[in-house]
Amino acid sequence: MVQVSGKFRVQDSDIMWSGEAWNCSKELKHYQALCRKKTTIAVYSFVLIMAEEGNHYLGYLEDLYEDKKGEKMAQVRWFRHNQEVKQVIPELNAHPEEIFITPYVRRITAKCIDQVVTVLTPNHFEKCLALFPEKLSSRIYVCHREVKNNKIETFSLSNLRGYDNQAIVSSLNHHHDSMNKAKVHKPTRKKMIFTLKTPPGKVLEGQEVEGETILV
């Protein structure tokens, strides 16, 4: 079983809540986002969590709230790096930037959350590589599998709430829409047929000729 161990490193800077708050049945106050250093980190974001000795974890931010002691807390679903999973499943074949989501959730102090990262499906990752290669120098990961009970299962990352809110995903969708609008459809050419209706025999001078136009 792949588990998260170790201690987390609390950031020095203060954090503030952002957005409207709501109370749950446990009398806890929940928030939509937190702010640190003029950066907003919303619920349903993929985040980097700092640990001691310069290590870090990756997680999916499911909730932000204050406990009954007034401490700012976060509920996080964990990812695992492929190097960690290979320690349990040596035969694993993974992309260098692939991470694996897990079913494990942990409550930590919100002060450990450092920044937002980008996690993409393989399809979006390949499109990002082709269209925005300069963005791959930042923290961008790919995920389409889950590690659970030492087994690997497929996982649909795009079904997670907030996936489409990522900046790069929005850019990819905008590019796709722009390409569709740029396609020029040639207008249908209309053929004109002019039919003369004349009485039998020779048309006499001054005789009126009837006609009709048909568009197809």
Give residue 14's pLDDT. 80
Which tokens belong to 89?
Answer: 């499943």
Q: Which of 163, 83, 161, 61 is nearest to 120 (CA)?
A: 163
Contact call for residues 77 and 104 (beta carbons, < 8 A): yes
Give residue 212's pLDDT. 44
Distance separating alpha carbons of residues 15 and 30, to the nearest angstrom:
15
Give residue 55's pLDDT. 82
CA angle 32, 11, 64 (to 5 degrees): 20
Give residue 41's pLDDT. 96
Contact call for residues 30 and 23 (beta carbons, < 8 A): yes
Amino acid in position 71: E
Give residue 83's pLDDT. 92
Give residue 137's pLDDT. 58
Contact call for residues 100 and 85 (beta carbons, < 8 A): yes
Work out whether the CA dihedral 32, 144, 2, 51 comes out positive or negative: negative
- For the chain, the C-alpha Rg in angstroms (whole number) is 30
Task: Give 10-residue mean pLDDT values along the chain (216 residues).
Answer: 56 80 92 91 96 86 94 96 93 94 96 93 91 73 95 96 93 66 52 50 48 40
Domains in the chain with CATH codes: 16-167 (2.30.30.490)
